[in-house]
Structure 1
């Protein structure tokens, strides 16, 4: 009776000790991207794959481009907005007063005032 493990002696994520002789890896090319802070990002793509114009730098999170002398500018980080800030973008103060008056009228009606 087996102990329940069909692949005894191997671990998750392990690979063969040597590459398979009957297959070879797909052709690839290594592309270098540069961010505004001067970080170098090397990414491997399939040889026939189209190259993206920008790539996120893993060190600083800013966009990186293909031209070392002219990297893309820093991305603008939007501050955190609360739910109230989003509501105020959609509605004017007059709309807010009207909605509040309507809600208060409903509450007063339920209370019998």
Structure 2
């Protein structure tokens, strides 16, 4: 037997009164959600007046958005690939515009005597 004076079978907040000690539970509504991977989740929400249940819910298994229509779950979000600074510059400027800007910058450096 273990020594000490620990009380077995108890936890913080446990007591003989149970529900009466903590008060009444709020009425709950359970809503089903399905993601595009076919995962099913059923979170519960407090049933309060004027409180809307969300149309989508993040799937706890895969993280995709889940909807309430099992036959038509929301599509996975489109993931944009990482773009470098150069990719953004190329979106804004054509190669000809880039060549003109580069020539102007090189001329400025030559006038200052920083390059030949």
TM-score, normalized by length of structure 2? Answer: 0.67
User: Which residue of structure 2 aligns with residue 16 of structure 1?
Assistant: 13
Q: How many residues align?
A: 100
CA separation of 1:99 and 1:42: change in aligned 2, threshold 3 A: farther
- Compute the RMSD of aligned alpha carbons: 2.5
Output one character per residue of 1:48-98: Cα deviation in whole Å (capped at 9) or x when no partner. Answer: 321222222222222211011221223222222112112222222232222
Structure 1 position 26 matched with structure 2 position 26:
yes
1:68-107 aligned at under 5 Å gives the runs 68-107=70-109
Moved more, 40-49 or 29-38: 40-49
Q: 1: distance between equivalents of 2:44 and 2:101?
A: 56
Q: 2: distance between equivalents of 1:20 and 1:82?
A: 60
Q: Which runs of 5+ in 2 are unaligned?
A: 1-10
TM-score, normalized by length of structure 1? Answer: 0.68
- Structure showing greater radius of gyration is 2
Q: Describe the SS at the equivalent of 2:63.
A: coil
Q: Describe the SS at the equivalent of 1:24.
A: coil
User: Which residue of structure 2 aligns with residue 45 of structure 1?
Assistant: 45
Q: Which runs of 5+ in 1 are unaligned?
A: 1-13
Q: Describe the SS at the equivalent of 1:89.
A: helix
